[in-house]
Amino acid sequence: MRSQNVVLRRFAGLAAAIVAGSLFGISATASGASAAPSPDPSTPSSDSTSLATRAEKMTVEDILRANPDARRVRTNAVNISPGIDVILPPADGDASTLAEAELCDYYHLCVWEHSIADGFGVGLGFYDCQPSGVVVNLGAMRYPDGASVGTGASGPKWNDRISSFENNQTPGTATSFYNWTGSWTNVLDSYAFDRVSNLRYTVRGNVNDIIDAVHVCTS
Ligand SMILES: [Ca+2]
């Protein structure tokens, strides 16, 4: 995955800092706000159905409009900020129609809002290594389009939604997942190639819908 960095220089200094949080101590978000992804109690509320419908109907054009520097990178994926793509579900709603190569590109860590058996839903792809001690704060990314909105109360975010992932980075490359519990608490590590179809069932127990941050290239 490290070889992908050349692709990302075109975004140098743009948005990475907005979604990045410091793994140790004080926040490194661009706004200077707290790093806490502030678990959003409204997420499972009565608007969840309309939210799910909105996510289901989201198009590449919707993602491009929401992210000023976005560009389409393949049929169902849009690069929204340095090293981060939003991945749309299969157009026909049937994940089984996806070829393996279309699932999660090489060099990428892909995470999805649903288990694989439940059809993935919308996903995020990460392919830029974070420096030591820095995580990508999912609580600063709007759901479902991934727009950088910072932490705080601004509607649904990507934290507490991840239900499956595929780690298709270079073999052996690690990704670590974190839950915010007043500090970043490591809840799972993954070494490429790796796929967890349902985060309810992992070597560390049930970590479904609790992940707030990822660190790509832990080692
Ligand atoms: Ca959480």
| pLDDT tens profile 130-156 | 999 999 999 999 999 999 998 888 899
Two tokens, residue 138: 């999912």
Two tokens, residue 57: 């109907």
How large is the C-alpha radius of gyration of the chain?
16
Q: Cα of 148 to ligand 1 centre, how many Å?
A: 18
Instruction: Specify the pLDDT at position 35.
Output: 45
For residue 202, name the pLDDT band (cuts at 50, 70, 90): very high
- Amino acid of residue 8: L
Q: Cα of 164 to ligand 1 centre, how many Å?
A: 15
Residue 173 has pLDDT above 70, yes or no: yes
Question: What's the average model confidence in pLDDT over 115-141?
Answer: 94
For residue 45, the domain's CATH number is 2.60.20.10
Q: How many domains does the chain have?
A: 1
* Report for 46-50, 52-56, 167-171: range of highest mean pLDDT: 167-171
Q: Cα of 44 to ligand 1 centre, how many Å?
A: 13
Instruction: Specify the pLDDT at position 137.
Output: 97
Instruction: Specify the pLDDT at position 119.
Output: 86
Return the C-alpha torsion angle 46, 48, 54, 55, nearest 10. Answer: 180
Task: Between 198 and 95, name the one with better pLDDT.
Answer: 198
The span from the CA of 6 to the CA of 168, in Å, is 18
Q: Cα of 5 to ligand 1 centre, how many Å?
A: 29
Q: Cα of 161 to ligand 1 centre, how many Å?
A: 9
Instruction: Specify the pLDDT at position 25.
Output: 44
Instruction: Specify the pLDDT at position 17.
Output: 41
Q: Cα of 115 to ligand 1 centre, how many Å?
A: 17
Q: Cα of 51 to ligand 1 centre, how many Å?
A: 19
Q: Cα of 137 to ligand 1 centre, how many Å?
A: 11
Residues with CB under 5 A from ligand 1 (ion): 160, 179, 210, 212
Instruction: Specify the pLDDT at position 41.
Output: 44
In the chain, the percentage of residues whose pLDDT exceeds 90 is 59
Question: What's the average model confidence in pLDDT over 190-199?
Answer: 96
Query: Closest Cα to residue 15, out of 108, 142, 133, 121?
Result: 142
For residue 40, the enclosing domain spans 2-216
Residue 40 has pLDDT above 70, yes or no: no
Instruction: Specify the pLDDT at position 16.
Output: 45
Burial of residue 202, with CB atoms counted within 10 A of its CB: 0-12 exposed, 13-18 middle, 19 or more buried: middle
Q: Cα of 185 to ligand 1 centre, how many Å?
A: 9
Task: Between 3 and 206, name the one with better pLDDT.
Answer: 206
